[in-house]
Amino acid sequence: MSIPVVDFSAYRLSEKHVNDEQLQELGAELKTAFTQVGFVYLKNSGITQEEVDRVMDISKKFFLQPDELKQPFCRKSFSINPNHGWVSLETEKLNPRRPGDLKEAFNAASLHPDIKWPSSGAVTGFQEIQMSFFQSCKELSLRVLRVMALGLDMDPDVFLSAHRLIGTDENGTTLRSLYYPPVNSEKAKEGQLRCGEHSDYGSITLLFQTSEGLQVRTRSGEFVSAPCIPGAILINIADLMQRWTSDQFVSVIHRVLLPPVGDSSTRQSLAFFVQPDDEALITCCDGSNKYPPVAAGAYLIERLSQSYIEN
C-alpha cells in the first residue's frame, strides 16, 4: 500500500477560477485515495511552507517553556470551550489500552474573543499566528470537502452544508499543535508510545509534519510509515466521514512509535481536525441505515471523553 499524491493546483487556495472538468478529475483522484487507502498527500494546496514554519516555530517556543507557564492555558480551564488549551505530557491516551501518550499538545479550538492566549516573551504573536493558520486550513478544508462530494457524484454542498460554523464554538474543529519531546527509553513505561493507535473522530484531518514517525495501518493489519513529503499535506478520513459515506471512505488507524533507543530527536506536527457543526445530524448519505444518525457535537464529546480516561 502506498499513499497517493494528488496535485491540487487547479483548486489551490488562491485559485479563483476552476472548471468543472478539473474539479471532476480532482474528485476522482480523491475518491480513489479515500476509498482505497483513507489517506492522501495533497501537494500545491496553496498553504505555504512559510505559514507552516511560523506555526511550528511559535508552537515549539510555547512547549519549551516550563510547565508553570503553560498551566494557565490548560485544557478544560476555558468554560467557553472545554477542548481548548494545553494538554500536558501523558495526559491523553489515544489508545486507552496503553499508558498516556508521550506528547504535549495545544488545541486551538476556540477563536472566541474572551479566550486568553499565551502572549508573553517567547510566544509573542502566538494567537495571531494560530488564528491565521486556522483560517487557511479552514478554507482549504472546505475546498477538499466540496471535491470529495463531487468524487462521490453527490451534491457538492452535501458535506459543506454541515460545516458552516467552523471557527465558532458551535463547531468542534480544532487546530492542534503537537510536540513529542526527546524520549529516555529507560524511563518509558511498558507499551508506551508517542501517540497510541487510533482513528480520528471528525470528517477529515489535515496533517503537517516535519519528520518521520507516523505509521498508518494497512488493510492487512501491518503498519507502514507515512513519511514527510516536503510541501505536501497529509489528509485522512476520520470516523464521522466514514459513517457518513457508509464506509465508502475509510478512516484508518495510525500511530507514532517511540524513536529508536539512543535517538534523542523530537517530533512536531500540526493536525487540523475538521469536525461537522455540533448540531449537524450525520446520516448515511447513500440513504442506507448502516449507521444510526448521530449529532456531530455529542459524538465528539463521547470520543474525547474516552481518550482522557484516568488510569
Ligand X SMILES: O=C(O)CCC(=O)C(=O)O
Cα separation, 281 vs 187, in Å, equals: 45
Our CB check for Fe ion shows the closer of 101 and 200 to be 200
Q: Which amino acid is at 276?
A: P
Of 111, 214, 233, 241, the one binding ligand X (CB under 6 A) is 214
Cell numbers for 235: 489528509
**Which span sits near Fe ion by CB under 5 A: 21-29, 197-205, 227-235, 245-253?**
197-205
154 to each of 69, 235, 295, how far by Cα in Å? Answer: 48, 20, 21
Quick one: 125 or 191, whose CB is closer to ligand X?
A: 191
CB of 16 to ligand X, least distance (A): 32
Cβ-count burial 241-252 (b if 16+ within 10 Å, e if not): bbbbbbebbbbb
In angstroms, the CA 121 to CA 190 distance is 38
* Amino acid letter, residue 140: L
Q: Please identify, among the stretches 9-17, 60-68, 123-131, 206-214, the one whose residues bind ligand X according to the rule CB under 6 A.
A: 206-214
Find which of Fe ion, ligand X, none residue 58 binds, CB within 5 to 8 Å per kind.
none
CB 45 within 8 A of CB 9: no
Size of the site for ligand X (CB under 6 A): 10
Interacting residue with ligand X among 123, 271, 274, 280 (CB under 6 A): 271
Please, what is the Cα angle at 145 between 144 and 149, to 5 degrees? 115
Coil vs helix vs strand at 217? strand
- In the list Fe ion, ligand X, none, the entry touching 195 (Cβ below 5 to 8 angstroms by class) is ligand X
Which is nearer to ligand X, 45 or 205 (by Cβ)? 205
Q: How far is the CB of 237 from ligand X (least distance, A)?
A: 13
Is residue 195 part of the contact set for ligand X (CB under 6 A)? yes
Q: Give the residue closest to ligand X by C-beta.
A: 269
Task: State the nearest-atom distance from the C-beta of 177 to ligand X, in Å.
Answer: 10
Nearer to Fe ion, 147 or 235 (CB): 235
CA angle 177, 181, 183 (to 5 degrees): 145
Query: What are the DSSP E strand ranges found in 31-70?
Result: 39-43
Residue with cell 503537517: 208
**Cβ distance 59 to 177 under 8 Å?**
yes
Site string for ligand X, 241-270 (x = CB under 6 A): -------------x-x------------x-
Q: With binding defined as CB under 5 A, does residue 200 bind Fe ion?
A: yes
Q: Closest distance between Fe ion and the C-beta of residue 101, in Å?
A: 11
Strands 267-274 and 174-180, sheet pairing: antiparallel
List of residues contacting ligand X (CB under 6 A) = 178, 195, 200, 207, 209, 214, 254, 256, 269, 271
List of residues contacting Fe ion (CB under 5 A) = 200
